[in-house]
Amino acid sequence: MKTPTVASRQNWFIRNRMTLLTLAVVLAYAAFIEWFWGWSSILAQWGKVGALPILLALALLTGTYFLRTWRIYDYFPKETTGHFAALFRVTQVHNLLNIMMPFRTGETSFPVLMRSEFGIPLARGTSALFVMRLLDLHALLVAAGIGLALASPYSILAWIVWVCFLLLPVAGFASRRPLIRLAARILPKKAQGLVHELERGLPVDAGAFARAWLTTVVNWLVKVVVLAWALGLMNVTPLSASFGGALGGELSSVLPVHAPGGVGTYPAGITAGAMAFGASGEKAAIENLAQASINAHLLIVVSALTGTAIGLLVSRKRVIAP
């Protein structure tokens, strides 16, 4: 028979296994970097860049978190009006968990937090998150499509395809009611409530959809441009390669395969994106790109930690009673 102490320890390990896994992966990754390059070599790149550009990049990246919060604030006006600070805290905790937890498991925190803080049903919060993630992925793919269209030998056809893809969310939103009615007819009765909540998770009208879409585009534009600028400062050339690296890193962060803390997967996404958009294949250039990708990843993690710290400082009060 297990003693209360042993049982308590086992329960603690079960509850915190994801946290322990994340910590183990991060420590192993840090040890690998120290063994392969040495942290002094990695951080030397920031020394060459200088403090002012680093602080500016960090401020701009942190600023995108306010834009993301406004998108959700506008998405749920009835529940969140007058509680921007509390919503900012929720979004930052969700963002940090999403970064640190593996395989997108941190995403589950969003509907849970929105229910506990604002009384939004789980199904509605989940469907809203799903829609916003589709918009996020679409914005990144649209940005990547610009580079592909510019490089295509069939310029006119490439741009026609790009414009059609750009307008895909508009077509999806315009046809939402027929699609939901179809789903309601073909799904079993037990799923009818889920379909209703899914509909409630969509923007309420064309204006709300346009604001969510525009906010998404501006948010990712700023983030990709800042990351591309940072990579350029670390001698990732040409400009198309730094742009591709920023896109590759961010695409890795929205796809299902995501390591704890983004360690390995985010820098790999940057490297793959930069190589696909014209980075040099010479050994010295690849070595510099690998180190720059790690530093860009550190910039993202530090901005997430900064945003979370701000969120916890500006709001500690729950909006609704438990």
In the DSSP assignment, the letter for residue 307 is: H
Please tell me the least confidently modeled range out of 35-39, 124-128, 183-187, 241-245: 35-39
pLDDT at 144 over 70: yes
- pLDDT interval class at 295 (50, 70, 90): confident
Q: What predicted TM-score, i.e. pTM, was given to this entire model?
A: 0.81
Question: Where do the structural domains in the chain lie, given as residue ranges?
Answer: 35-315
Label residue 10 by pLDDT band (50, 70, 90): very low
Q: Measured in whole angstroms, how far is the alpha carbon of residue 212 from the centre of its chain?
A: 16
* 206, pLDDT greater than 80: yes
- Say yes or no to pLDDT of 73 above 90: yes
Average pLDDT over residues 238-248: 91
Segment 116-125 mean pLDDT:
88
Range with the poorest average pLDDT among 19-28, 101-110, 165-174, 299-308: 19-28
7 has pLDDT over 60: no
Contacts 24+ apart (CB under 8 A), 109-117: 114/76, 114/90, 116/318, 116/320, 116/322, 117/86, 117/87, 117/90, 117/318, 117/319, 117/320
Summarize the confidence of residues 23-48 as an average pLDDT.
70
**The pLDDT of residue 307:** 86
Q: Which of 17-21, 197-201, 222-226 has the highest mean pLDDT?
A: 222-226
- CB atoms under 10 Å from CB of 195, counted, come to 18
